[in-house]
Amino acid sequence: MGFRMGIVGLPNVGKSTLFNALTRTAAAQAANFPFCTIEPNVGDVAVPDPRLDKLAAIAKSKQVIPTRMTFVDIAGLVKGASKGEGLGNQFLANIRETDAIAHVLRCFEDGDVVHVDGRVDPVADAQVIETELMLADLESVEKRLQGLQRKVRGGDKEAADQERLLKAAQAALSEGRPARTVEVADDDRKAWKMLQLLTAKPVLYVCNVEESSAATGNSQSAKVAEMAAAEGNAHVVISARIEEEISQLDAEEQAMFLEEMGLEEAGLDRLIRAGYDLLHLETYFTVGPKEARAWTIRQGTLAPQAAGVIHGDFERGFIRAETIAYEDFVSLGGEAAAKEAGKMRAEGKGYLVKDGDVMHFLFNT
């Protein structure tokens, strides 16, 4: 299981440039005019994980298959989008289909790149988009509440539960707070997610800075960091132009380039890690001579459900999981040595899978 992250922002903030870097393609046209991205571009990108390569080397795996993430480059938003301005309606529909929002903010000065409002203010830009999403959510909530009235009066329990959650969202939005600030009980989480509220989605602010500020950030990205901390959201600092250049180099050239720029790692890696944290994701591995493969699950996933990520039959017929911690697999030199040292465990249906577990599932067909 991967996840789907929408790349959003005002026009000309660097969304398409970042998308090109992420997917290592030129599929998204990066041009200096609003709405150069007319249709959402969708790209799958491999999740870099040095642990997978190490496991594959130890097991002498013929194939190495990383887990993947889906990024969606969504058309630029403008003020008034909630009322259909610009490409607003299309933008709002596309963002509903994502699990999280990577909100790209322009944190660089460049007279050659037009800003839709004629100024560089990433905090104000963030507020424009947040306001449009809240207005769209409020309109959606009010329409749904009206549509539920007859069912609620008729004693429909499901409709009553939905009304309760919608009213909680309405109260927050009316106070100028996004839906993600609403405290939702564990029993209500599934129903809450089904509401598909735009502002309920977790947000990662991506500060797009000039090349010289890629390692340290600048005064504009510092303002975003302060805003993100106050909201309980995450942020990363990236130079989209640098990332696009890096994406065209081979591994050796990338390492040299990063060193010259004073960067410890590519911004892509930081972005993916931040995305994982944002959605509470983790990785487990299956390793053998044929292939070494990474699988993404949500934190708190039990062994049968983790097995189901590979195939539904694995979950339905689950017997047990043979599990080796990543550190044990590596330090002892592989499965056989770990088993001999007593580090392979047989885990049942109640086992909570841990990040980095190397697993083999036994199941009934």
Report the binding-site residues for ATP. Answer: 12-17
CA atoms of 9 and 101, how far apart (whole Å): 10
The count of other CB atoms within 10 Å of the CB of residue 346 is: 11
Query: What residue numbers does the annotated binding site cover?
Result: 12-17
